[in-house]
Structure 1
Amino acid sequence: MDNTAPHGHRVLLITYSAQGHINPALEFAKRLTRRRIDVTFVTSLSAYRRMGKTPTLPHVSFASFSDGYDDGFKQGDDINHFMSELERRGSQAIKDMIVAGVEQGQPFTCIVYSILLPWVATVARSLHLPAILLWIQPAIVFALYYYYNYGYHDIIQSASADPLATIQLPGLPLLTARDLPSFFGSSDAYEFALPIFRRQFELLEQETNPMVVINTFDELEHDALRAISKFNLIPVGPLIPSEASSQCDLFQSTTSYIDWLNSKPKGSVIYLSSGSMSTLSKHQKEEIARGLLSCGRPFLWVIRDIEEVNTLSCREELEGLGKIVPWCSQIEVLSRPATGCFLTHCGWNSTLESLVCGVPVVVFPQWSDQGTNAKIIQDMSETGVRLEVGMDGVVKREEIKRCLELVMGDSKKGEEIRRNVVKWKELAKGATAHGGSSYSNFKAFVDQVCP
């Protein structure tokens, strides 16, 4: 592929090897190419192999490097060793790519990198290249991680341990423990991430004009985007693909559900997915199954390990009412008229996709930023409701039915949610349309970084 753009600008874009990171990073790459910039899209070999056939995108080339875990990170692996090897091997690989570009007479103009990879900024600095962070979570979460590391550690730590506590931080809405990122919890298995975020902020503070490109839009997070004044947060979202064919899925999908979905009445189908990383217990899946049967509406349910379907006691009844698939094109499903509700783990990509596609949601956050995303959906955009978890950590079938009926039924609350969905669909799409807030921010960003 010809990597020489008309303006001679090339961007090296590096992303962490998870579906939730790859999706917005790839969409950001596509938007750069529309500004006549060539992009080299880089992730680790384990993810690159799982992509299968990468999409053919003008002025986007794909590259990979070995992080020492070429078959992917497995349960039981040492997460600290994995992150250490990712940094060690990745730093050398990125350095080699940058040097090769110079030697070939096609130097990179700058580097863009997603979260959990602060070492990329260190590599860029050593080679005198500007590095821009692509923050793929909401601005509220960015501010929370900053406050946790600068001035509010004890307050946030205390609030995260008390379910009844509320916390008010500058520029942010009133939050409770369940609204905070799970990494703040002392027992979270992914507490390794907190030092990485701290290092990220330390690197940003060393820059004279720290810029952070963020996957959100001003109409949704106006105050949070301005909460940390020392950083220039540039909202360019929603970074959502306009068509499914331009995505890089790490999971094999099927199209068998499309005709089935198209055969259903408008707004009648419940779509359920817990994303690419979250897993639900057998007990929880059983409760969801019973809740769906009690609700009696057609459904499309993504269960990544399809063998788990056979463990459900009501499998035959489920197959008579809906469809279960191991993976699907989510943006395609949410765009279909038949889809009337999205029961989601509330990953940030899924949250934004629900807004762009105009689908009401029932949120069931699991970890990381998902509790904060659920807060945004329920209390800020008011486009969905949150499931209440029982004392045993399981959401019961009655609660699942209650929330699904609330969102899809004829109650005043349901009608209000559906009106809000229409409003936010227009706002989300308007942000990236010509002249919209994110469109203008992105144009100004490109003009500054790649003049």
Structure 2
Amino acid sequence: MPPRPHFLVLTFPFQGHVAPALRLARRLLAAAPDALVTFSTTEVAHRRMFPAAKPDVGDSDSDFDGRLEFLPFSDGTEAGYVARSTATNPDAFNTYMASFHAAGARSVGGVLDALAARGRPVSRVVYSLLLPWAADVARDRGIPSALYWIQPVAVFAIYYHYFHGHAAVVHEHRHDPSFQVQLPGLAPQAVADLPSFLTVSTEPSDPLHSAFTTLRDLFETLDRERPRATVLVNTCQELERGALAAVGAHDVLPVGPVLPSASGDEDAGIYKPDDDAKYMDWLDAKPAGSVVYVAFGSLAGMAREQLEELLLGLEGTGMPYLCVIRKDVRAALSSEVGGAGTDQALAPLKNGVAVEWCDQVKVLSHAAVGCFVTHCGWNSVLESVATGVPMVCVPRVSDQRMNAQLVEREWRVGVRAQVTDQGIAGLLRAEELRRCVDEVMGDSEAAAEVRRMAGEWKRAVAEAMGEGGSSGRSLMAFVDGARCAV
């Protein structure tokens, strides 16, 4: 009997990385019934995913008859990285990344060796963003690897061309947000819309400088792959046909949008949703297309003034709303005013419901939801496009500004809110939020067109992900290649 293909899927320990990586792991198992998958993130994130499990024991997923195994690797720390720590220690992230790179590479090497010793050798390593060392660890053991790019291919193209001859022009104009940068194969891009790691984090003093250096290392790693690097991208060719044509140096395979499986079993994630009944029963009682859903992802903080403006704007729309306010955000608000901060900040909440976390795909799939106010993380954008929900974009860092541009200009399924110039995030005022919600949920012809386009793209994405669709074919080509290499 020939050896079974075995994929080791490695990911950074943030929810926005864990979710698409785990979804891809499940998709690989569904596409290749003979395959094995080991999913690995850091020990701290692993414990949050499986709080009842012993920390040194992997967990098996019975849905795949033991073919999916979870094994953690070490990042060299006891507590991992805590986003709030950057507020008191500006170099916290950079310090963490140094440990993550060094300890992670050693530990993943140990995982590969241990799996081989157990008679379960890995035949292909798949690694997501911020783990460039994973390809080197795999190469040292003669194992081929593939990058899983969990952002738009347009952003991949921007990074590629930046690190291949176009860094100087971006660096020269990084303080001129309106300057138009022309990159090969792409429409001109304003500096303000480029990934923030290329315009802010290039300075060694920046709290996120190691994100820039890690991305630089990543593209150098891809260049070392022979004959060509393989890059899986969480997008489909229908969404980004032009950008796909702008990257020719690597084998880029669009395999997305990689969403939760059709059976309804949501990922084991770092954040656990509130009880579904708390918000799904509430949604069931609302008219179709009437609810504004608001969520700004798993990392972004929220100052008291922003929360007050947000809730004031939502109440001002006159529409029911469901708002995610994470536990750590509530705790930070409480600490601001001697423990009473959360209750006081949520006092304006009369026409809506606030939850600490929710099953976002389930919410967006509900007929009552008519609009998504989002930070434009790529997972959220894809989930919204796939469910046909128009967006109000409030981008902040990394790829989010480019994602918002795709939403508003390329696909025309939403609008971008204007924020006041207060730091990198800015402040979304109540009146601006009301204006934007009306532009996608109101009675105007423009709002109706946004909703029509959202429906069109929903159908296009469903076709790409369906049997025989473009993304399904790309994934099967990758699986077949991995099987032939065993």
TM over 0.5: yes
Q: Quick check: 2:112–2:121 contact (8 Å CA) kept in 1? A: yes
* Structure 1 residue 62, shift from structure 2 partner: 0.4
Which of 228, 252, 267 is the equivalent residue of 1:233?
252
Give the alignment's TM-score, normalised by structure 2: 0.88
Residues 134, 391 of structure 1: CA spacing in aligned structure 2 closer, same or farther, 3 A cutoff? closer
CA distance in structure 2 between the partners assigned to 1:118 and 1:323 by the alignment: 41
Q: Which amino acid letter does the alignment assign opposite residue 155 of structure 2?
A: V
Deviations 1:175-226 (A, max 9, x none): 2122111112236531221221121111111121211011111011112112
Partner of 1:39: 37
Question: Does 1:186 pair with 2:222?
Answer: no
May I ask how many residue pairs the two structures share in their alignment? 446
Partner of 2:241: 222
Deviations 1:164-183 (A, max 9, x none): 22222112223212211111
Q: Quick check: 2:312–2:348 contact (8 Å CA) kept in 1? A: no
Deviations 1:140-173 (A, max 9, x none): 1111111221111122224432122222211222
Matches within 5 A, 1:88-237: 88-186=102-200, 189-207=207-225, 208-237=227-256
CA distance in structure 1 between the partners assigned to 2:124 and 2:342 by the alignment: 50
Question: Does 1:64 pair with 2:64?
Answer: no
* Structure 1 residue 236, shift from structure 2 partner: 0.3
Residues 84, 391 of structure 1: CA spacing in aligned structure 2 closer, same or farther, 3 A cutoff? closer
CA distance in structure 1 between the partners assigned to 2:410 and 2:2 by the alignment: 42
Partner of 1:23: 19
* Structure 1 residue 426, shift from structure 2 partner: 0.7
Q: Quick check: 2:392–2:415 contact (8 Å CA) kept in 1? A: yes
Deviations 1:60-108 (A, max 9, x none): 1101022133323131363233112212222222212222222222211
Deviates more, 1:121-130 or 1:155-164: 155-164
Question: Does 1:245 pair with 2:265?
Answer: yes
* Structure 1 residue 56, shift from structure 2 partner: 4.5
Partner of 1:366: 396
Deviates more, 1:217-226 or 1:47-56: 47-56
**Percent identity over the alignment?**
40
Deviations 1:371-396 (A, max 9, x none): 01001100011100000112443221
* Structure 1 residue 229, shift from structure 2 partner: 1.1
Residues 317, 194 of structure 1: CA spacing in aligned structure 2 closer, same or farther, 3 A cutoff? closer
Q: Quick check: 1:15–1:22 contact (8 Å CA) kept in 2? A: yes
* Structure 1 residue 333, shift from structure 2 partner: 0.5
CA distance in structure 1 between the partners assigned to 2:198 and 2:304 by the alignment: 27
Q: Quick check: 2:293–2:372 contact (8 Å CA) kept in 1? A: yes
Partner of 1:440: 473
Deviations 1:41-64 (A, max 9, x none): 000011111113676541211010
Q: Which amino acid letter does the alignment assign opposite residue 46 of structure 2?
A: Y
Deviations 1:413-440 (A, max 9, x none): 1001001000100111111111111011
Residues 391, 180 of structure 1: CA spacing in aligned structure 2 closer, same or farther, 3 A cutoff? same
Q: Quick check: 1:57–1:246 contact (8 Å CA) kept in 2? A: no
Q: Quick check: 1:385–1:403 contact (8 Å CA) kept in 2? A: yes
Deviates more, 1:153-162 or 1:30-39: 153-162
CA distance in structure 2 between the partners assigned to 1:333 and 1:220 by the alignment: 23
* Structure 1 residue 230, shift from structure 2 partner: 1.1
Q: Which amino acid letter does the alignment assign opposite residue 218 of structure 2?
A: Q
CA distance in structure 1 between the partners assigned to 2:5 and 2:168 by the alignment: 45
Q: Quick check: 2:97–2:210 contact (8 Å CA) kept in 1? A: no
Partner of 2:441: 408
CA distance in structure 1 between the partners assigned to 2:427 and 2:246 by the alignment: 35
Q: Quick check: 1:159–1:166 contact (8 Å CA) kept in 2? A: no
Which of 350, 370, 380 is the equivalent residue of 1:350?
380
Partner of 2:55: none
Q: Quick check: 2:45–2:270 contact (8 Å CA) kept in 1? A: yes
- What secondary structure, in the 3-state scheme, does the structure 2 residue paired with 1:223 have? helix
CA distance in structure 2 between the partners assigned to 1:434 and 1:93 by the alignment: 38
Matches within 5 A, 1:315-354: 315-318=346-349, 320-354=350-384
CA distance in structure 2 between the partners assigned to 1:71 and 1:105 by the alignment: 32
Deviations 1:276-302 (A, max 9, x none): 011122211111111111111100000
Q: Quick check: 1:286–1:312 contact (8 Å CA) kept in 2? A: no
Question: Does 1:296 pair with 2:296?
Answer: no
CA distance in structure 2 between the partners assigned to 1:286 and 1:259 by the alignment: 26
Q: Which amino acid letter does the alignment assign opposite residue 197 of structure 1?
A: L
Deviates more, 1:249-258 or 1:347-356: 249-258
CA distance in structure 2 between the partners assigned to 1:354 and 1:261 by the alignment: 17
Q: Quick check: 2:178–2:192 contact (8 Å CA) kept in 1? A: no
Deviates more, 1:395-404 or 1:50-59: 50-59
Deviates more, 1:117-126 or 1:243-252: 243-252
Q: Which amino acid letter does the alignment assign opposite residue 107 of structure 1?
A: P
Residues 248, 397 of structure 1: CA spacing in aligned structure 2 closer, same or farther, 3 A cutoff? same
Partner of 1:50: 48
- What secondary structure, in the 3-state scheme, does the structure 2 residue paired with 1:112 have? strand
Q: Which amino acid letter does the alignment assign opposite residue 105 of structure 1?
A: G
- What secondary structure, in the 3-state scheme, does the structure 1 residue paired with 2:298 have? coil
Deviates more, 1:79-88 or 1:325-334: 79-88
Question: Does 1:431 pair with 2:464?
Answer: yes
Give the alignment's TM-score, normalised by structure 1: 0.95
Q: Quick check: 1:360–1:421 contact (8 Å CA) kept in 2? A: yes
State the superposition RMSD in angstroms.
1.9
